[in-house]
Chain A
Amino acid sequence: MRQRERQLGALYALPLGLFLGLTFLAPILLVALFSIMPEKVFELTHMPDFSAYRVVLAQGYWKSVAWSLFLAALATAILLVVCWPLAYAMAKVFKRFTLVLTIGVVMTLFVSENIRLFGWVLTLMKGGLIEGYFRHWTGIGFDAPLYNVPVIVFGLVYVYLPFMLFPLAQGISMVPDDARQAAFDLGATRWQILREIELPLAMPGIMVGSLLTFVLAAGAMAESKLLGGRAVITIADEVQTAFTYGQNWPLGSALAMVLIAIIGSLAIWAISKADLDAMMGRKS
């Protein structure tokens, strides 16, 4: 019985395992190899000289890295505050409306990020949905709140909201009502219940949501390109530019490796702590 389980498990894992080995691990290895090649070569047959990493350090690319991480951290913090009441209500207060919200939010994920961000441009631009009607009714116009840093953060908050909301709601649903009731009966204030009971017990959900949001936002670039008018160049944008306009694969690879190292170490740390069997409710 055990023997058969072992063989079957390995057999069924084979297609996906092989596929990801060939199309995920191998390309990353290739990027790693290209990143140590001399500049502007397109083959791996040269002597490695790590010069691309020197360029990354010398030419101020760290600014893009810092911006990406800062924007991602800011968006994550804002999302925690924005999503908490809603996640709480989804887990503890709403009944039918939780399903409506879940379907409503998931459906936005199926619309290309481009179209949704483009929709914000149409909404916020001068002569757009908001300014156009405002001017029509009041006669007063104002400048479009586009092409700056705050609107990039706004775009990140908008796009990654579902990735914070659902893990948070999952986390909050694990807080037993009895614990809150007991704290309340013993005279705890609403604020004390939040700090001493709900936050610690919902911590797994908070961690998953924050990490997911942070990691995705750190690798984002559409928000800064479409809404931000490239007020900030993100690291993913720099990687793309180095590959396409720059025609400098080793530089692009070195930049990609910096991003992969930051995101990868966070993701691997998080994944290694998570017990997927327990999280997804394995029975045996």
Chain B
Amino acid sequence: MKTSRLSSFLLLGYGIFILAFLYLPLVSVGLASVSKARYLSFPIRKYNTGWYGEALASDTVQSLLWISLKVAGIVTVSSMVIGFLGALAFARYSWRFRKGFQKLILLPIFFPQTVLGLALLMWFNALGIVPSWKTAIIAHLVWIAPIATLIVSIRAFSFDPSLEEAARDMGASQWQVLREVTIPLLMPGVVSAGLFAFLLSWGNFPLSLFTTGADSTLPEWLFAKMISGYSPLVPTVGMLTVAGSAVLVAAGLILAWALKRLRPTT
């Protein structure tokens, strides 16, 4: 029962249509960001990239950028470490509460993020911690560290335990096994988990909303501007954050491709 030429062709068209559907709003934002008019209306009459210069020169945007970068950077490093250790417990070793641990990790991913952000705000308040960008890191990690763990686990599941045993039989210490066998084998998973962690933190809004206190991240600022009326800086800053993600994804893909090229056997 082969799929006919015609239906393959139709399905391909449908796939392209869905991709276009997913990217259409970004096209609008992109066009809006280069429109010269202060009050946007299509069709755009005059194009101009001046808003980008204005956005990049603005102190507000620079400090937002810096806060978003700090949060995403620390979330990335922390979730790589937590995700690596968590994945070993999740996938590699058989221990008593493994099934329960696996289920605990899935719960935060399903949880509504707005409610999680509010619950954390109450929790920080009860502990006497003043919310700032540092508490936002904790909030992001509640959601992102489990995702990172799952990503590393996919790698850890396809990992042959006899490699570790062989190293141990040859007299390697626990630390040497970890350093020489386990870490290098799981590294691709850890790197992709880090990439996901950065991108998810960079774009996150609902968790940041309640947990950054007086500080603000880029998505938060964008949201505040969106609901308070149109500003030409909204599409511009929006496109800047999209460009940031795109550059990182491209770098990740090139890295993956280069590694595949260099080591075709693995």
Give chain A interface residues in 1-51, CB to chain B under 8 Å.
1-2, 5-17, 19-20, 23-24, 26-28, 30-31, 34, 44
CB distance from B257 to the nearest CB of A (A): 11
> What residue of chain B has the Cβ atom nearest to residue A132's Cβ?
B42
Give 1 or 0 for each of A110-126: 1 = CB within 8 Å of chain B CB: 11111111111011000
User: Given contacts A6-B95, A180-B1, is CB(A13)–CB(B86) below 8 Å?
Assistant: yes
A6-B96 contact in complex given A27-B120, A86-B11, C-beta closer than 8 Å:
yes
CB of A228 within 8 A of chain B? no
B108-146 contacts to A, CB under 8 A, are 108, 110-116, 118-123, 126, 138-139, 141-142, 145-146
Complex contact B31–A129 (CB within 8 A): yes
Given A12-B89, A127-B41, A259-B112 in contact, is the A104-B101 Cβ separation under 8 Å?
no
Across the interface, do B123 and A119 meet the contact criterion of CB distance under 8 Å?
no
Q: Please determine whether A113 and B95 come into contact, CB atoms closer than 8 angstroms.
A: no
CB distance from A270 to the nearest CB of B (A): 8
- In the complex formed, the residue of A with least CB distance to B108 is A24
Q: How far is the CA of A184 from the CA of B242 in the complex (A)?
A: 47
Residue B18, interface by CB 8 Å: yes
Chain A minimum-CB-distance residue to B242: A111
B187 CB–A CB distance under 8 Å: no
Indicate if B63 sits at the interface (CB-CB under 8 A). Answer: no
Say whether B203 contacts A112, CB under 8 Å: yes
Question: Would A118 and B234 count as touching, CB distance under 8 A?
Answer: yes
Whether B154 contacts A115 by the Cβ 8 Å rule is no
Q: A94-B11, A212-B110 are in contact. Are A128 and B42 (CB under 8 A)?
A: yes
A101 and B15 within 8 A (CB): yes
**Nearest B residue to A10, CB-CB:** B95
Pick the contact of A119 from B14, B26, B219, B246 — CB < 8 Å? B26
From known contacts A24-B107, A133-B43, infer whether A30 and B29 are also in contact, taking CB-CB under 8 Å.
no
Partner-B contacts on A (CB < 8 A)? 1-2, 5-17, 19-20, 23-24, 26-28, 30-31, 34, 44, 82, 85-86, 88-90, 92-94, 97, 101, 103-105, 107-120, 122-123, 127-129, 131-133, 136, 158, 161, 177, 180-181, 184, 193, 212, 215-216, 218-222, 225-226, 236, 239-240, 243, 249, 252-253, 256, 259-260, 263-264, 267-268, 271-272, 276-277, 280-284
B51 at interface, CB cutoff 8 A: no
From B52-60, B221-229, B258-266, the one touching the partner chain is: B221-229
Within 8 A of A (CB), among B189-240: 199-200, 202-206, 210, 218-219, 222-223, 226-227, 234-235, 238
- Whether B3 pairs with A93 at a CB distance below 8 angstroms is yes
Cβ–Cβ contact A184 & B43, under 8 A: no
A14 CA / B93 CA spacing, docked (Å): 13
A19: chain B residues within 8 A (beta carbon) = 82, 141-142, 145
Contact indicator A256/B119 (Cβ below 8 Å): yes
B160 to chain A, nearest CB (A): 7
B245 near A107: Cβ-Cβ < 8 Å = yes
For the complex, what is the distance from the CA of A56 to the CA of B91, rounded to whole Å?
42
Question: Chain B residue with minimal CB distance to A17?
Answer: B101
Contact B118 A256 (CB under 8 A): yes
Contact B28 A129 (CB under 8 A): yes
Contacts of A119 in B (CB 8 A): 24-29, 238
- Is B97 positioned at the interface, with any CB of A under 8 Å from its CB? yes
State A15–B26 Cα separation when bound (angstroms).
Answer: 39
Residues in chain A near residue B101, CB distance under 8 A:
13, 17
Q: Is the CB of A85 within 8 A of B14?
A: yes
B106 within 8 A of A: yes
Whether B223 contacts A114 by the Cβ 8 Å rule is yes
Partner of B93, one of A6, A222, A253: A6
Question: What is the CA–CA distance of A92 and B246 in the complex, to the nearest angstrom?
Answer: 29
Interface presence of B253 (CB below 8 A): yes
Interface assignment of B32: CB less than 8 Å from any CB of chain A: yes
Residue-wise, chain B 5-26 has the 8 Å CB interface mask toward A (1 for contact) of 0011001101100110111111
